[in-house]
Structure 1
Amino acid sequence: MTPSPRRPPSRRFGHLIGAYGLLALAALLFLAFSLALPDTFPTLDNISEVLSNQSIPAILALGAMIPIVTAKFDLSIGYGLGLAHVMTMQLVAHEAWPWPLACLLVVLGGALVGAFNGVVVEFAKINSFIATLGTGSILYAVTGWITNGARIVPGPHGLPAAFTDLYDSRFLGLPVSACYVLALTAVLWLLLERLPLGRYLYVIGSNPRAAELVGIPTRRYVVYAFAGSGLVVGIAGVLLAAQQRIGNPSVGLDYLLPAFVGALLGSTAIRPGRANALGTLVAVVVLAIGLAGIGQLGAQFWVTPLFNGATLLLAVGMAGYATRRQLRRQRTKPPRALPDPPEVTP
């Protein structure tokens, strides 16, 4: 058996830079801000606060990543986040529902909204940008109808302590919200990298026609991807309600751009050229360190949207380049056998 040719050193170095360059950037940013702010930035209190503050954007970025695997985009996630957290506050604070039941209903409702997005995209054949922007506007209208444009404030007894502990408590010395991010990353990594479900989704994203030819039901799996995204958005909405303890009908829009920045930038790391959970986590870490550093340096309020917008443009450009590079590499490799497609019952 002829051994495969070894990769030249220059190509190996380029691969390492492409896969782990973003992780190295995170370390360099942390070092730079630690040198600039030695008394505040590298402290455990600051690290804990950054982890806590960025946990919801990280969860939302992981949710946005799932449809991107299939080359689709869900622009309704910001609106869905707003509706989920308002519904949680409405049920727990005003309707006096048991908080576990309210949270379960909101999470399942998020999955249902995501599945509806997938049905609109796949069966109505509407571009995912347009379809999810339209459903997002409907979600925003429902949010306004529930709140009448006003904030939902808990009564004099406040919210149940067990509910707010969903966000405020600690686990193994870390904010429990950061543990949620790590757990969700692990679950998505397992689903996308180690199970046939993920391979089918990646094939659909790279070549939907080829996926159909080998017997993969593309419509069904795209609906699954959107439903998974909606379920993650529902979880983020519950945590946002536990964090803010007040229902703000417009808060979800502030999370839309950072979520897509993290998801798109993450496709340039770990597995360059395709969206992946570990890369998204690394991208979120880079964004968290950057935003925390420039905030502590006393930057003006407009620097944050400038940073997010510039990073989004950079992420889209880098993601496109990484995808083209991956395609060029695949053309030089022999085709790899796909797992047997699932049986489709009539």
Structure 2
Amino acid sequence: MTPPPPPAPARHGHRRRRRPGGHHIGAYGLLVLTALLYLVFSLALPDTFPTLATVDSILSNQSIPAVLALAATVPIVTGAFDLSIGYGLGLAHVMVLQLVVNEGWPWPLACLTVIAGGLVVGVLNGVIVEFGRIDSFIATLGTGSMMYAVTGWVTDGGRIVPGPQGLPPAFTDLYDSSFLGLPVPAFYVLALAGVLWLVLERLPIGRYLYVVGSNPRAADLVGIPTRTYTVYAFAASGLIVGFAGVLLAAQQQIGNPSVGLDYLLPAFVGALLGSTAIKPGRPNALGTVVAVAVLAVGLTGIAQLGAEFWTVPLFNGGTLLIAVGLAGYAARRRLRGGAARDAPAAPPPPPSSPAPGDGTAGTSP
């Protein structure tokens, strides 16, 4: 008598798993919130809020916070924080105006020099954090304070004001011009977000950065040089901060040594809140742009309602606390989901031995 064939093994690798229903809510909830806020403020302020002038103002005024938030996002991918970005922004925009106004440099050369300087500063931050073994909070706070000192030294505590002839129109057009009826800075944000999305989501370097941020020990075990990729992240952040400084100089047209600090908190609010959108549980460029859009619509609506000046830091601080809490929850939920998916299937129980006298002990195949 031939025994029955063994049961086919379960094909766990080919089973299609349905995502939980809350995935889309978590991924696109901020987009829905942006639309709801716009609708609420449009109903409350029908004469001023739902206008093209308001849209232009949002796209233009929030471009620099969006660029700086994208700069903060890259180190967060690796589990580090760059608190020097606000100080770096102030130094970069002051240096552009110092070179153009006081040193007589051509504005393209001054802009390229400042952007390259931002790259160098980012590399130095990464080296101090990784090879100096200093916590990123402390290290970048220290380097940021030093950059603030350099800013004060360059400006001698005052402002850099162009002469009667003003700045070159081609330079100010970097911020003031429009394209396809929309402010040009909005296209800078979209282009930068697209580049970061491509690098982080589609290229090997992006996957390495995420591995370094999620599990540095595992990255070391598989041969990923964690220190090198963390330095890469800080370098990218410094490069973007240098570019943001150029835009700020074209917008302000006056060198103010303390203006960069006003952008630090909104940048981190956007970066941390962005990690709860599009790709919940992980920092991502598109989520950061969506988070900045939520903040921009909210702040613009609050301002048009005639709120007091102190509501802006109150809004930013409260949103930062909410963003940190939501980002932590999304990360824990993502880790739990990954652990459940990666858990091996339980092996089948061993076959029971035949009971004595059941007639099977002496059966031959």
- What's the TM-score once normalised by structure 1's chain length? 0.95
Are 1:4 and 2:12 matched, yes or no?
no
Distance 2:262 2:53 in 1: 25
Aligned pair partner of 2:151 in 128, 143, 146 = 143
- In the alignment, residue 101 of structure 1 is paired with which amino acid? L
SS in 2 for 1:146: helix
Distance 2:206 2:85 in 1: 21
Which residue does the alignment assign to 2:134? 126
- Residue 7 (structure 1) shift: 2.2
Distance 1:49 1:190 in 2: 28
Which residue does the alignment assign to 2:271? 263
- In the alignment, residue 165 of structure 2 is paired with which amino acid? H
| TM alignment of 1:53-72, pairs within 5 A | 53-72=61-80
Aligned pair partner of 1:325 in 328, 333, 338 = 333
Which residue does the alignment assign to 1:30? 38
- Residue 94 (structure 1) shift: 1.2
Which residue does the alignment assign to 1:342? none
- Residue 333 (structure 1) shift: 1.8
Distance 2:17 2:95 in 1: 56
Which residue does the alignment assign to 1:183? 191
- Residue 179 (structure 1) shift: 0.4
Which residue does the alignment assign to 1:161? 169
- In the alignment, residue 4 of structure 1 is paired with which amino acid? R
SS in 2 for 1:157: coil
- Residue 334 (structure 1) shift: 2.9
Aligned pair partner of 2:100 in 62, 85, 92 = 92
Which residue does the alignment assign to 1:109? 117
Are 1:238 and 2:249 matched, yes or no?
no
- In the alignment, residue 145 of structure 1 is paired with which amino acid? W
SS in 2 for 1:149: coil
Distance 2:176 2:15 in 1: 52
Aligned-residue CA RMSD in angstroms?
1.0
Are 1:218 and 2:229 matched, yes or no?
no
- What's the TM-score once normalised by structure 2's chain length? 0.90
- In the alignment, residue 270 of structure 1 is paired with which amino acid? I
Which residue does the alignment assign to 1:281? 289
Which residue does the alignment assign to 1:313? 321
Q: Give structure 2 stretches of 5+ with no counterpart.
A: 1-10, 344-365
Which residue does the alignment assign to 1:201? 209
- In the alignment, residue 37 of structure 1 is paired with which amino acid? L
The range that moved more, 304-313 or 168-177, is 168-177
Which residue does the alignment assign to 1:52? 60
Distance 1:5 1:211 in 2: 28
Distance 2:65 2:90 in 1: 13
- Residue 332 (structure 1) shift: 1.3
Distance 1:251 1:6 in 2: 50
- Residue 5 (structure 1) shift: 3.9
Identity %: 74
Q: Give structure 1 stretches of 5+ with no counterpart.
A: 336-346
Distance 2:56 2:309 in 1: 23
Distance 1:83 1:312 in 2: 25
Distance 1:4 1:194 in 2: 25
Distance 1:194 1:38 in 2: 42
Distance 1:5 1:82 in 2: 51
The one-character-per-residue Cα deviations of 1:223-254 (angstroms, maximum 9, x if unpaired) are 00000000000000000000010000000000
Aligned residues: 332
Which residue does the alignment assign to 1:341? none
Distance 1:329 1:151 in 2: 53
Distance 1:116 1:333 in 2: 40
- In the alignment, residue 303 of structure 1 is paired with which amino acid? T
Which residue does the alignment assign to 2:83? 75
Distance 1:46 1:272 in 2: 30
Which residue does the alignment assign to 1:344? none
Structure 1 consecutive aligned stretches of length 4 or more whose deviation exceeds 6 Å: none
